[in-house]
């Protein structure tokens, strides 16, 4: 079994039998159940917390308030999502902020107790996001401060964008809006903490066990080595379990105070108001082109909502910075501050929102030019990174366009939409792209004389297939079947891996596992008196490349008197791809049906064609891309968390009031295609990340297909019946 072969999910059996243990499934004796009491006002302060009724509830053990909490050391909280720590005083910064914790012997008692805690507030005037209107948003916006989220420059320009727009034969100048969306992972965030003296053991629903260890160490002044964080399985993250949020700190602190293990599983409502979301984003997009369709300028002005304590910036302009060749661009990111929870990355961030605006505008430009939308993209193909002129580490977007168009039948698309009974059938396309985030990672591979192999690294399994592909990489080097490999992960007692987010794991952890496996092979070669660089392994044997049968692992190790060989590996992004621009690319083609009388929009088929480097496991990769496309469909057609300005809160905090796609929304006709490509600059694996790429471009492709079907241009997501119904 080697890299590039389809392998069935290594944890499939554990997951289909219910044996896989997620954080809330971990059985810890003598634990207390914790339930949060949260603020019902968006701004102000707590005057008093009345706990007598709650304490009278049978089974309630304690009610903790800010008075009970230790003072947190907030000097270095990275990677804490937000700088503000609740329950450190009386201040209320957003609705849903934890103000008390009820601890009880049973979950029923804790939940009943939480309803019996009464809190008196002094409300203050809350800042709310501006109305969904560019003028109002523009007026409310400010330049972002440095608060840990300026991953890129908030302003960027190249050439003279005004002149470029002025000289254009055709221009598109439009505003595109997208609403707040929540991650809605099926597994609610959860933390179980138990102290043993100064040592604390945590189970956490996490995309980054080392992140929680680091934050807790700083905030609670506990040495990192005394903190163990385990995430055996994580039930989806999509970004929200990547940074550290207050509940994780509060669970650990509560357990220490109570002197007993504490399990805090967030309620669905908590997930909307104590964790992050993708913010409401407004784009003012201006494109100019000459009569041939060559871009003369891109001006992209973005405002995203943030909270009142930190300026999280959703860098949607990165899409415009890196996708098309243009002589001039002017990009600007601003924020508007409101009393809400802090936004965070959501599958797909950055280019995800950016492409909604850019690829809608490109479609409008193609229409204005009377050009095929795909031809317009090809006319502006960026051979080098447009903002830096750096060469690409690898880019096969042209192939992705062509091969995708062929699979979809794009060139047979008629100018007029087809009809199928009450349905108007439209087709649309968009480019896809995502930055290549890479994280330092370490891994260890151990080979035992009995032929068993252990791959160990502190990464997380959140559904992306990491538990499958890393043993696969080791198996390909060591010439064994992946079933012979045990994979240890999700534990801070293992070599430190980066967070499992940002489509980064294959490059980082994958490269570390590759190197550790090669280290094992080299050491075994030396034991077998073979030149390390000239060996190959298969069927449990090692031999000179192209040589005859060779020696078995067991024989080599027995003769050398060794019972175990330990190999170590690491990946440091600084050492790979210096001077190259790195991104993944693709094209997505969709066909939708619109019933204009009933305002209905339904997905009929999709082709996603991608340039993402080498694919380690096409089977799990295909599932990931399909999932990304369905995320894109949700973004296009239904997802939104409506903010209630008068109450200063998200109105519905449940899965009945916030729609995400169901099975019946999704047709089987989804084709995933990867261009044949290896990118050795990005990582020795040759692959890049794919977790987010599939979710990019889709919303614009859908809106473009709706335009094709109906002639209606929808510039505000989601595309719901109210926007489509014809009178």
Partner 1 sequence: MSIGSISRRELMTTTVAMAGLSISPALAQDSDTTGLRFDGQPEVAFRVNGVDYRLALDARVTLLDLLRERLNLTGTKKGCNFGECGACTVHLDGRRVNACLVLAASLDGREVTTIEGLADGDKLHPVQQAFIDHDGLQCGFCTPGQVMSATALIAEGHAGSDAEIREWMSGNLCRCSAYPQIVDAVRAAASNKVGSAT
Partner 2 sequence: MQSFSYARASTLPDVLAAGAQPETMFLAGGTELLNWMRLGIAAPERIVDIGRLEGLDRIEPLPDGGLRIGALVRLNDAAQHEAVMRDYPVLSQAILKAASPQLRNLATIGGNPVQRTRCAYFRSEDKLPCNKREPGSGCSALHGINDRHAIFGWTEACVAVQPADPPVALAALDAVFVTEHRDGGRRIPATEFHTLPDKRPQDHNVLRRGELITAIELPAPAHRSAYLKIRERESYEYATVSAAAALEIDGSTIRRARIALGSVAHRPWRLKAAEERLAGTSIEDRAALRAAIEMSFADARPLSHNAYKIPLAKNAALRVIETAARMPS
Choice from 148, 159, 391, 599 touching partner 2 (CB under 8 A): 599
Q: Which does 472 bind (CB under 5 to 8 A by kind): partner 2, partner 1, none?
A: none
> What's the DSSP call for residue 188?
P
727 binds partner 2 (CB under 8 A): yes
566 binds partner 2 (CB under 8 A): no
Q: Which does 670 bind (CB under 5 to 8 A by kind): partner 2, partner 1, none?
A: partner 1
CA atoms within 13 A on the CB side of 83: 13
- For partner 1, the binding residues in 173-202 under the rule CB under 8 A are 183-188
Q: Which does 727 bind (CB under 5 to 8 A by kind): partner 2, partner 1, none?
A: partner 2
Write each residue from 21 to 40 as x if it is in contact with partner 2 (CB under 8 A), else as -, in one continuous string: -----------------x-x
Exposure string over 358-396, b if 16+ CB within 10 A, otherwise e: bbbbbbbbbbbbebbbbebbbbbebeebbbeeeebbbbb
601 binds partner 2 (CB under 8 A): yes
Choice from 308, 652, 671, 680 touching partner 2 (CB under 8 A): 652
605 binds partner 2 (CB under 8 A): no
| Separation of alpha carbons 432 and 586, rounded Å | 5
For residue 385, give Cα distances in angstroms to 76, 388, 563, 602, 613: 35, 6, 51, 36, 17
| Separation of alpha carbons 49 and 432, rounded Å | 50
421 binds partner 2 (CB under 8 A): no
Structure tokens at 358: 């850019």
Contact between 349 and 356 under an 8 Å Cβ cutoff? The reply is no
Q: Which helix (H) or strand (E) holds 361?
A: helix 351-369
Q: Which helix (H) or strand (E) holds 674?
A: strand 670-674
Residue 486 backbone phi and psi in degrees, to 5:
-95, 135
Q: Which does 464 bind (CB under 5 to 8 A by kind): partner 2, partner 1, none?
A: partner 1
Q: Which of 2, 325, 31, 299 is nearest to 165 (CA)?
A: 299
Q: How far is the CB of 339 from partner 2 (least distance, A)?
A: 16
- For partner 2, the binding residues in 65-124 under the rule CB under 8 A are 108, 111-112, 115
For residue 413, give Cα distances in angstroms to 373, 426, 589, 705: 11, 9, 11, 11
115 binds partner 1 (CB under 8 A): no
Choice from 52, 292, 375, 422 touching partner 2 (CB under 8 A): 422
411 binds partner 2 (CB under 8 A): no
Q: Which of 661, 608, 617 is nearest to 404 (CA)?
A: 608
Collect all residues with Cβ–Cβ distance below 8 Å to 564 and sequence separation of at least 6: 446, 447, 448, 449
Bond preceding residue 348 cis, omega within 30 of 0: yes
Q: By CB under 8 A, which span of 37-45, 314-322, 540-548, 627-635 interacts with partner 1? A: 627-635
Q: Which residue, 57 or 66, is less far from partner 2 as judged by CB?
A: 57
Q: Residue 432: beta bridge partners?
A: 586
Q: How far is the CB of 672 from partner 2 (least distance, A)?
A: 22
Q: Which residue, 522 or 720, is less far from partner 2 as judged by CB?
A: 720
| Separation of alpha carbons 191 and 241, rounded Å | 11
Q: What is the DSSP string of 501-566?
A: -TT-HHHHHHHHHHHHHHHHHHHHHHHTT--GGGEEEETTEEEETT-SS-EEHHHHHHHHT-SEEE
Q: How far is the CB of 661 from partner 1 (least distance, A)?
A: 7
For residue 714, give Cα distances in angstroms to 134, 324, 441: 15, 23, 43
Q: By CB under 8 A, which span of 150-158, 389-397, 532-540, 624-632 interacts with partner 1? A: 624-632
Structure tokens at 158: 């190249």
Q: Which residue, 386 or 471, is less far from partner 1 as judged by CB?
A: 471
Q: By CB under 8 A, which span of 464-472, 510-518, 651-659, 685-693 interacts with partner 2? A: 651-659
107 binds partner 1 (CB under 8 A): yes
425 binds partner 2 (CB under 8 A): no
Contact between 241 and 462 under an 8 Å Cβ cutoff? The reply is yes
For residue 214, give Cα distances in angstroms to 104, 244, 503, 677: 29, 10, 22, 37
Q: How far is the CB of 281 from partner 2 (least distance, A)?
A: 20
Write each residue from 257 to 296 as x if it is in contact with partner 2 (CB under 8 A), else as -, in one continuous string: ----------x-x---------------------------
Map tokens 């080599």 to a residue.
556
Q: How far is the CB of 170 from partner 2 (least distance, A)?
A: 32
Bond preceding residue 79 cis, omega within 30 of 0: yes
Q: Which does 462 bind (CB under 5 to 8 A by kind): partner 2, partner 1, none?
A: partner 1
Exposure string over 514-532, b if 16+ CB within 10 A, otherwise e: bbbbbbbbbbbbebbebee
Q: By CB under 8 A, which span of 234-242, 308-316, 349-357, 362-370 interacts with partner 1? A: 234-242
Choice from 2, 118, 388, 726 touching partner 2 (CB under 8 A): 726
Q: How far is the CB of 268 from partner 2 (least distance, A)?
A: 9
State the distance between the two ends of the chain, measured CA to CA, in whole angstroms.
59
Tell me the site size for partner 1, rule CB under 8 A. 69
Catalytic residue flag (residue 536): no
Ramachandran bin of 516, using left for φ above 0, alpha for ψ from -120 to 50, beta for the remaining angles: alpha
244 binds partner 2 (CB under 8 A): no
597 binds partner 2 (CB under 8 A): yes
Choice from 238, 272, 356, 470 touching partner 1 (CB under 8 A): 238
> What's the DSSP call for residue 693?
G
Choice from 132, 308, 522, 720 touching partner 2 (CB under 8 A): 720
Choice from 17, 30, 548, 663 touching partner 2 (CB under 8 A): 663
Write each residue from 629 to 648 as x if it is in contact with partner 1 (CB under 8 A), else as -, in one continuous string: -xx-----------------
102 binds partner 1 (CB under 8 A): no
User: H helices of 117-245, where?
Assistant: 134-140, 161-167, 209-220
Q: Which does 659 bind (CB under 5 to 8 A by kind): partner 2, partner 1, none?
A: partner 2
Q: Which residue, 409 or 721, is less far from partner 2 as judged by CB?
A: 721
Q: Which does 14 bind (CB under 5 to 8 A by kind): partner 1, partner 2, none?
A: partner 1
Q: How far is the CB of 106 from partner 2 (least distance, A)?
A: 11
624 binds partner 1 (CB under 8 A): yes
Write each residue from 627 to 646 as x if it is in contact with partner 2 (CB under 8 A), else as -, in one continuous string: ----------xx---x-x-x
Burial class for 650, CB neighbours closer than 10 Å (0-12, 13-18, 19+): buried
620 binds partner 1 (CB under 8 A): yes
Q: Residue 299: beta bridge partners?
A: 286, 330
Collect all residues with Cβ–Cβ distance below 8 Å to 580 and sequence separation of at least 6: 390, 391, 392, 393, 681, 682
Task: Tell me which residues are annotated as active site.
Answer: 692
Binding stretches for partner 1 (CB under 8 A): 8-9, 11-22, 24-28, 58-59, 105-109, 112, 183-188, 233-236, 238, 265, 267-268, 461-465, 619-620, 622-624, 626-628, 630-631, 654-656, 660-668, 670
Binding stretches for partner 2 (CB under 8 A): 38, 40, 58, 108, 111-112, 115, 267, 269, 422, 597-602, 637-638, 642, 644, 646-647, 651-654, 656-657, 659, 661-665, 718, 720-722, 725-727
């Amino acid at each position: 079994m080697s890299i590039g072969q389809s392998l069935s999910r290594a944890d499939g059996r554990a997951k289909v039998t219910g044996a896989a243990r997620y954080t809330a499934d971990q059985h810890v004796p003598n634990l207390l159940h914790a339930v949060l009491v949260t603020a019902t006002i968006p701004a102000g302060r707590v005057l008093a917390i009345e706990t007598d009724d709650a304490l009278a509830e049978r089974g309630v053990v304690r009610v903790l308030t800010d008075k009970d909490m230790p003072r947190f050391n907030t000097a270095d909280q990275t990677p804490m999502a937000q700088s503000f720590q609740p329950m450190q005083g009386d201040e209320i910064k957003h609705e849903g902020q934890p103000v008390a914790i009820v601890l009880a012997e049973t979950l029923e008692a804790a939940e009943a107790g939480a309803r019996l805690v009464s809190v008196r507030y002094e409300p203050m005037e809350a800042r709310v996001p501006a109305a969904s209107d560019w003028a109002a948003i523009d007026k409310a916006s400010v330049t972002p401060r440095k608060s840990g989220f300026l991953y890129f420059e908030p302003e960027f320009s190249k050439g003279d964008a005004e002149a470029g727009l002025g000289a254009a034969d055709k221009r598109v100048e439009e505003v595109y809006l997208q609403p707040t969306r929540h991650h809605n992972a099926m597994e609610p965030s959860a933390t179980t903490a138990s102290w043993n003296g100064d040592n604390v053991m945590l189970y956490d629903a996490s995309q980054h066990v080392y992140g929680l260890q680091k934050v807790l160490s700083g905030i609670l002044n506990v040495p990192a080595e005394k903190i163990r964080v385990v995430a055996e399985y994580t039930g989806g993250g999509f970004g929200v379990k990547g940074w550290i949020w207050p509940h994780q700190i509060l669970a650990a602190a509560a357990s220490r105070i109570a002197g007993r293990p504490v399990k805090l599983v967030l309620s669905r409502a908590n997930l909307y108001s104590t964790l992050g979301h993708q913010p409401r984003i407004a784009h003012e997009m201006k494109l100019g082109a000459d009569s041939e369709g060559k871009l003369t300028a891109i001006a992209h002005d973005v405002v995203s909502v943030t909270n009142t304590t930190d300026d999280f910036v959703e860098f949607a302009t990165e899409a415009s910075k890196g996708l098309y060749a243009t002589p001039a661009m002017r990009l600007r990111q601003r924020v508007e501050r409101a009393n809400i929870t802090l936004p965070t990355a959501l599958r797909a961030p950055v280019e995800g929102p950016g492409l909604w605006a850019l690829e809608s505008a490109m479609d409008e430009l193609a229409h204005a030019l009377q050009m095929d939308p795909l031809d317009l993209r090809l006319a502006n193909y960026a051979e080098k990174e447009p903002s830096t002129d750096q060469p690409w580490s690898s880019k096969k977007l042209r192939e992705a366009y062509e091969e995708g168009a062929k699979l979809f039948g794009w060139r047979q698309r008629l100018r007029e939409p087809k009809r199928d009974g009450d349905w108007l059938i439209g087709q649309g396309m968009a480019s896809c792209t995502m930055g290549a985030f890479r994280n330092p990672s370490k891994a260890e591979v151990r080979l035992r004389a009995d032929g068993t192999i252990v791959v160990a690294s502190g990464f997380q399994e959140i559904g992306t297939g990491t538990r499958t592909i890393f043993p696969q990489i080791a198996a390909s080097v060591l010439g064994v079947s992946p079933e012979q490999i045990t994979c240890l992960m999700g534990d801070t007692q293992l070599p430190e891996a980066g967070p499992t987010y940002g489509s980064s794991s294959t490059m980082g952890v994958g490269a570390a596992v590759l190197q550790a496996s090669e280290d094992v092979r080299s050491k075994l070669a030396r034991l077998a008196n073979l030149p390390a660089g000239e060996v190959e392994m298969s069927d449990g044997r090692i031999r000179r490349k192209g040589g005859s049968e060779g020696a078995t692992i067991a024989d080599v190790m027995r003769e050398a008197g060794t019972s175990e060989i330990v190999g170590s590996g690491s990946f440091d992004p600084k050492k790979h791809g210096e001077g190259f621009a790195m991104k993944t690319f693709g094209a997505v083609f969709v066909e939708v049906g619109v019933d204009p009388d009933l305002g209905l929009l339904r997905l009929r088929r999709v082709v996603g064609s991608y340039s993402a480097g080498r694919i380690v496991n096409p089977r799990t990769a295909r599932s990931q891309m399909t999932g990304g496309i369905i995320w894109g469909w949700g973004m296009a057609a239904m997802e939104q968390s409506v903010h209630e300005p008068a109450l200063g809160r998200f109105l519905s905090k449940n899965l009945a009031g916030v729609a995400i796609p169901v099975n019946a929304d999704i047709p089987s006709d989804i084709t995933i295609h990867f261009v044949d490509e290896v990118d050795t600059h990005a990582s020795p694996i040759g692959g890049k990340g794919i977790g987010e790429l599939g979710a990019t471009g889709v919303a614009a492709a859908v809106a473009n297909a709706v335009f094709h079907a109906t002639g209606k241009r929808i510039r505000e997501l989601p595309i719901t019946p109210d926007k489509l119904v014809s009178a």
